[in-house]
Amino acid sequence: MEAALADFLRHLGIEKNASAYTVKSYREDLTQALTFFGERLGGSVAPERITTRLLRAFLAWLHEQGYAKATISRRIAAVRSWLRFLCRRGVLTANVAEGLRGPRKDKTLPHFMTDGDIRKLLAISMGDHPLAQRDQAILETLYSAGVRVGELCSLKLDDLDLDEGIITVRGKGRKERLALLGKASREALGEWLEVRATFLAALQRSTTAVFLNKNGTPLTVRSIGRILAKYLQQAGLDPRSTPHTLRHTFATHLLDAGADIRGVQELLGHKNLTTTQIYTHVSTQRLQDSYHKAHPRA
């Protein structure tokens, strides 16, 4: 079973070109499932011993443990993908998880920041320490380009074209797309790059990563989350906001201003238009709220 799992993870990383984060998530989800199967069946488990009944028991156990609906759905989907892979490799003759579905996820609108809130965040004084320009460039780029935080972490110097206001982004599945930079983000990035060169020289280090920590190594997703949390607190803004909130804000503000939804889809790097359409629901909800507050006969 461990060999079958390792083979699948290699397939994700090499053949499907999945990111390290995606492979890690599949590993964690499937390891939990295999541990459950082993405890129920006693000892090691061969793939052919997995049945629909066992999978339903796993689904029920996840519910009992109090996992969120989204987590349960993801773990069932991971098992289904793995068994489908084993079928293609001839290890199994049928995918017993094909008809198994996780719980229906609640439809929630993405959390975003208002125009006033984003202006307040980006106008905050970040101090005069050497990395203040870095922090400004990070927040400006997240909002201006609408990139995922993982995409921001992986940016290299060659990905930036500040003269044209374009950056090359490697998204999910390592697919490349172009993202746009506004005037403020171009200026912030330009100032950070000047500081960055001096900063690296003082450390006697060399790297092509755009955003660095105090040791001169690439920033992590978690580090950028902490940076944003610090400035949200200073600005007195909603602490629930995350780097991904700035991506939601980017899309919502574009659609509010009349941007074409397919253009927004392309900028976000969404494979399906339905993923982007959630932001039209946000805009519609805001319009309805304004109507009910303002119209005398609403």
CA distance 298 to 293: 8
Active site residue 129: no
CA distance 187 to 185: 5
Coil/strand/helix, residue 249: helix
Residue at 58: amino acid letter:
F
Active site residue 270: yes
CA distance 118 to 57: 46
Query: CB–CB of 171/177 below 8 Å?
Result: yes
Tallying the residues shown for the chain, one arrives at 298
Query: CB–CB of 149/243 below 8 Å?
Result: yes
User: Which residue among the candidates 156, 172, 177, 286 is catalytic per the annotation?
Assistant: 172
Retrieve residue 269's tokens: 């790097």
User: Which residue among the candidates 134, 170, 253, 270 is catalytic per the annotation?
Assistant: 270
CA distance 72 to 152: 28
Q: Which helix (H) or strand (E) holds 177?
A: strand 176-180
Q: How far, in whole angstroms, is CA 99 from its chain's centroid?
A: 28
Q: Which residues pair with 160 in a beta bridge?
A: 167
Active site residue 244: yes
In b/e form, how buried is each residue of 267-298, taking b as 16+ CB within 10 angstroms? bbbbeeeeebebbeebbeeeeeeeeeeeeeee
**φ/ψ of residue 98, rounded to 5:** -60, -40
Q: Which helix (H) or strand (E) holds 183?
A: helix 183-203
User: Which residue among the candidates 75, 186, 247, 253 is catalytic per the annotation?
Assistant: 247
User: Which residue among the candidates 148, 230, 231, 240 is catalytic per the annotation?
Assistant: 148
User: Which residue among the candidates 279, 281, 286, 293 is catalytic per the annotation?
Assistant: 279
Active site residue 247: yes
Q: Known catalytic residues?
A: 148, 172, 244, 247, 270, 279
